[in-house]
Amino acid sequence: MVSRIDTLALRYKVIRQFKQLLLMGREYPRGYRYFRDNLHAGFKKNAGLTDVKEIEQKLKFAEHIEREIAALYSLRKYRAMKQRYYDGDQ
Amino acid sequence: MWSSKNSVHVFGSPTSSRPTTCQLFRPPLQQQYVVITILAMPPRLNIVVPIKRVIDFAIKPRINQTKNVIETNGVKFSLNPFCEIAVEEAVRLRESSKDLVESITLVSAGSAKIQDTLRAGLALGADKATLIDIPAIDDSRSLELEPLAVAKLLKAFVEKSNANLVIMGKQAIDDDSNQTGQMLAGLLNWSQATNASKVTVDEASGVVTVAREIDGGTETLSAPLPLVITTDLRLNTPRYTKLQDIMKAKKKKTEKITPEDLGVDITPRLEIVSLSEPAKRTGGGKVDSVDALIGKLKGAGAI
């Protein structure tokens, strides 16, 4: 039996993950609206879950998405800088 | 040397009933000497990271033809990518070794709008920030704050704060001067290592080893502190800031000072004569056969 504190902590984690992804969506190439709509849909789809293990699995997936987006952004920036300042070097 | 003239009467010490005589400058026979050991302390880095707020790298700057300035209305600004790398490097130095870094201070010069950029830098992991308030230099007039003026402001600031390491971006993506770091090192009379692609600090000796990206390869320099380092693209990949760090950054201190406080004259010495966009790229053409290609190349004077 999962205690109420555990479920609260999990709920807090989920909300925080959502907010983090929402923050990252501001720079998304296909636009903030597109990103936000998809984010809402994704989280809403799993809103009814009650099993802790399942929730943690989904949370891990959300973290994975967060890392992927961060990688996308930093790669985009790196490539742009490299093209502007370093291509043309030997 | 120990004449009686140096004697002083002391009436009644705690442990005796008779008045005792102390002789000044004469150590008692059973003095216990206190041994003071000076421990060799590893140098602690006080890092200053100057940063710049620039038009976001993903945006193509446009020129406002009527005013002959860069169009900055409604344009997204952000932290200069090379400056981001500098802040990240300072934070990594702190994370690499406990007690190595004492403080990381950000500094930036311009209008009050740069507060947002300073906060972004604080969210990356810096401790505190200083805003050198120059209200006249708003976004559209940022080119009027020249590298030499910035270097002078930074020199005064660095000397005021007891910094021993400056890490900064090698250039800003808006003016591409690649001068401020070098000028700052010259004004401070510190060693400099520009275009750094790797920075290592030897904690025992306080010697910093820097690998520099130069034409044709990598050059490795080492110098003792104090030192100015400017960052190259390949130094590190900055982390993406977390929401919690952005919240924490709001509580970190930002102080405001003026060029007058630093005693620096920032009057521009250069005049911007004109601004123009680069020539539009003309489209290419397709050819059907090798002969046609040769014909076109001959026509263009290439062969």
Q: Which among B260, B263, B256 has a CA at the least distance from the CA of B156?
A: B263
Q: B68's torsion region: left (phi>0), alpha (psi -120 to 50) or beta?
A: left
At residue B5 the predicted structure's pLDDT band, cuts being 50, 70 and 90, is very low
pLDDT in tens, B39-92: 556 679 999 999 999 999 999 999 887 777 888 989 999 999 999 999 999 999
pLDDT value at B198 more than 50: yes
* 3 state SS of B196: strand
Which H helix or E strand runs over A67?
Answer: helix A52-85
| Phi, psi dihedral angles at B103 (to 5 degrees) | -155, 150
d(C-alpha A6, C-alpha A50), whole Å: 12
**Which residue's entry shows tokens 């808006």?**
B174
CB contact under 8 A, A78 and B237: yes
pLDDT in tens, A7-47: 888 999 999 999 999 999 999 999 999 999 999 999 999 98
Q: Taking CB atoms and an 8 Å cutoff, what residues of chain B touch A85?
A: 233
The pairing of strands B63-64 and B69-70 is: antiparallel
pLDDT in tens, B213-236: 998 899 999 999 999 999 999 999
CB contact under 8 A, A78 and B233: yes
Which residues on neighbouring strands pair with residue B222, listed in sequence order?
A: B209
Q: Which residue of B has its CA nearest to A89?
A: B215
> Which pLDDT belongs to residue B204?
87
How far B258 CA sits from the closest chain A CA (Å)? Answer: 32
| Phi, psi dihedral angles at B88 (to 5 degrees) | -60, -40
CB contact under 8 A, B233 and A73: no
The token duo for B210 is 């820097």
pLDDT value at B26 more than 90: no
pLDDT value at B3 more than 70: no
pLDDT in tens, B44-58: 999 999 999 999 999
d(C-alpha B252, C-alpha A26), whole Å: 24
pLDDT in tens, A11-21: 999 999 999 99
**Which residue's entry shows tokens 């930074």?**
B154
> Which pLDDT belongs to residue A72?
96
Nearest to A81 among B81, B242, B246 (CB): B81
pLDDT in tens, B277-297: 888 888 777 888 888 889 888
Does B57 touch chain A if contact means CB atoms closer than 8 Å? yes
Global confidence as pTM: 0.82
Complex ipTM: 0.88
pLDDT in tens, B81-134: 999 999 999 999 999 998 899 999 999 999 999 999 999 999 999 999 999 999
Q: How many CB atoms lie within 10 A of CB B202?
A: 13
Is B121:B246 a contact under the CB 8 Å cutoff? no
Q: A6's torsion region: left (phi>0), alpha (psi -120 to 50) or beta?
A: alpha
The token duo for B182 is 């070098």
Is B208:B223 a contact under the CB 8 Å cutoff? yes
